[in-house]
Amino acid sequence: MRTYGCQMNVHDSERISGLLDAAGYLPAEPDATPDVVVFNTCAVRENADNRLYGNLGHLKAVKDRTPGMQIAVGGCLAQKDRRTVTTRAPWVDVVFGTNNVGSLPVLLERARVEQQSQVELLEALEVFPSTLPARRESSYSAWVSISVGCDNTCTFCIVPALRGKEKDRRPDEILREVEMLAAQGVLEVTLLGQNVNSYGREFGDREAFGRLLRAVGERVERVRFTSPHPRDFSGDVITAMAETPSVCPSLHMPLQSGSDAVLQAMRRSYRSDRFLGILTRVREQIPDAAITTDIIVGFPGETEADFAETLRVVAASRFAGAFTFQYSPRPGTPAAHLPPLPREVVQERYERLVALQEQISYEGMQSQVGRTVEVLVSTGEGRKDTPGRLTGRARDNRLVHLAPAAGVRPGDLVETVVTRAAPHYLLADAELRSHRRTAAGDAFEAGRRPSTPGVSLGLPTVGRPVQRTGEPA
């Protein structure tokens, strides 16, 4: 299973793996040649298609000498390219879209029986991915999808065209999944959606997301969510975050640009003053909140004055971190037809933005020195210059490297004091102040791979397919 792109793709890949488990497949050993290779693709990242077709080209030789081997391509790029995948790589056995993840086992079997490539893409969501079985990579944290699709029309974004209109899961179904995860020892749940804080709009409840945060917070120790949209970020959500101890003091709030003119050209339905006002209200109620963002540099038409506005807003926002991107056009988006800025101009602006944010991030990290933090220990590797060093995430999602400590497993919770800071992580060289062994740590230690059975399987499908292509390619 090879996954590219956002957290939603990671979530979908866990569901794909769970479906294949349920169909009788087993994970291939690391050095073995697999019988099935699945690519879950992204159409947002630059050069996503080159990366996919390069990997497919590499696998052709492997498949030629491995009778019966199958290759499947799903995700956003598959949804966008449709039959182009089997035209450019006719050795691919299955192409499936973002709306029919659950079809993969049947399509693989059909391709084997008919000895022909299978292409199946739906124009509307068939079943929420979260209702499907899953093989999770972590015993201590889990993704929970609360909605799929997006109703926004940002001119740079291809996601609405590939994942469709927003569809919301019912709250009782979400809570049943969270309860099941908590019973399995999961400590941290991240609620997922293209625009999580518009959750509830489909069934006419504009305060549904705030209530959902409170309800999920009663069932699990840590709650995160991603990503909200400034347009829909309301006061009741901020209050729910502040009043629910389990909701972590971290927030990812995409800015994209600090220029009102560029925001208008992007069709981002807020302006810089509103954005900064949201951050002010968050920090008034959650003073320790670590806020991160996304920023695009060099959107078509961006002037030096526009870019100066982005630097101004970044300086005022004091982000804990930022994902910064140089604009690149995505075919099928309105902005793809706009004349691009010179590459050297975009690069120079990008470097200035990164330098500013690096300084702000470092200052924010330095402010944490001396503080006691609770860290959920993770499976990520610690610093290589200190053998045995552990790593994990503080409640505000900052990365913390811990001093070596006997008996601490991924999934355990520890308290420690931050002794040093770097621009992108914290160091805790002191002895642990506390260590709580958890069921998730027990599962990791025992080598048990976490899995989740399907939730509410058999429920009516969400949405009705408008177009279906299921015949052999």
CATH number at residue 296: 3.80.30.20
Output the domain CATH number for residue 395.
Answer: 2.40.50
Q: Is the pLDDT of residue 382 over 70?
A: no
Burial class (CB in 10 A: 0-12, 13-18, 19+), 38: buried
pLDDT digits (tens, 9 = 90+) for 333-346: 999 999 999 999 99
CA atoms within 13 A on the CB side of 349: 26
Q: Are 411 and 139 in contact (CB under 8 A)?
A: yes
State whether 182 and 299 are in the same domain.
yes
Q: Is the pLDDT of residue 383 over 70?
A: no
Nearest to 337 by CA among 156, 152, 161: 156
Q: Is the pLDDT of residue 330 over 60?
A: yes
pTM exceeding 0.75: yes
Q: Is the pLDDT of residue 473 over 50?
A: no
Output the domain CATH number for residue 51.
Answer: 3.40.50.12160
Q: Which of 78, 102, 120 is the last residue of a domain?
A: 120
Q: Position 398: which residue type?
A: R
The whole domain housing 168 covers: 129-366
Q: Is the pLDDT of residue 447 over 90?
A: no
State whether 414 and 351 are in the same domain.
no
Between these two residues, 178 and 84, which has the higher pLDDT value?
Answer: 178
Quote the tokens at residue 61: 């030789």
Rounded Cα distance between 138 and 156, Å, is 33
* Percentage of the chain modeled with pLDDT above 70: 92
Domain membership of residue 465 (yes or no) is no
Rounded Cα distance between 160 and 153, Å, is 7
State whether 136 and 77 are in the same domain.
no
Domain membership of residue 473 (yes or no) is no
Nearest to 471 by CA among 111, 85, 76: 111
State whether 202 and 172 are in the same domain.
yes
Q: Is the pLDDT of residue 425 over 50?
A: yes
Rounded Cα distance between 95 and 472, Å, is 10
Which residues, in sequence order, are CB contacts of 422 under 8 Å at separation 6+? 362, 365
State whether 33 and 63 are in the same domain.
yes
Helix (H) or strand (E) holding 31: none
How distant, in Å, are the alpha carbons of 190, 264, 301, 332 from that of 268?
A: 25, 6, 15, 18
Rounded Cα distance between 175 and 187, Å, is 15
Domain membership of residue 456 (yes or no) is no
State whether 315 and 442 are in the same domain.
no
Q: How many residues does the chain have?
A: 473
State whether 32 and 161 are in the same domain.
no
Rounded Cα distance between 401 and 80, Å, is 40
Q: Are 428 and 398 in contact (CB under 8 A)?
A: no
Rounded Cα distance between 293 and 82, Å, is 32
Q: Is the pLDDT of residue 468 over 50?
A: no
> Which pLDDT does position 218 carry in this prediction?
98
Q: Are 305 and 342 in contact (CB under 8 A)?
A: no
Domain membership of residue 133 (yes or no) is yes
Instruction: Order the strands of the 70-75 sheet from edge to edge.
Output: 2-3, 36-41, 70-75, 94-96, 118-120
> Which pLDDT does position 469 carry in this prediction?
32
Rounded Cα distance between 236 and 448, Å, is 39
Between these two residues, 328 and 347, which has the higher pLDDT value?
Answer: 347
What's the structural domain count of the chain? 3
Q: Average per-residue pLDDT in the chain?
A: 89
